[in-house]
Amino acid sequence: MKKEDLLNSDFLKHFKNGEELNDFLHQLQKSGVEQILEGELDAHVGYEKHATSDSGNARNGHTSKKIRTMYGELQIKVPRDRQGTYNPMIQ
């Protein structure tokens, strides 16, 4: 399925005004950024969340960060690794 197909008229009818659409876009961007960061950490530690590994490094919870985006400020959860070597690279 193409990304464009997700934005059909039935879906867009859920938004009654611009504020509802902006709130949705804000949440979508927050979720998207957090998922990308989780994927980056998967690559960094060498295994996916909830999998086991003897890589010598492990996930270690999350830290909260505030970022500025085109939709305003977002409070996101940034995953951490036990060794403290993960540095988010999302742009």
pTM as predicted? 0.82
- Res 63: pLDDT: 96
Sign (positive/negative) of CA torsion 79, 85, 86, 89? positive
Inter-CA distances, 40 with 56, 57, 78, 89, Å: 17, 14, 10, 8
Grade residue 91 by pLDDT with cuts at 50, 70 and 90.
low
Integer Cα distance of 58 and 66 in angstroms? 24
Grade residue 2 by pLDDT with cuts at 50, 70 and 90.
confident
Identify the top-confidence range among 35-39, 46-50, 85-89: 35-39
β-partners of residue 66 are 75
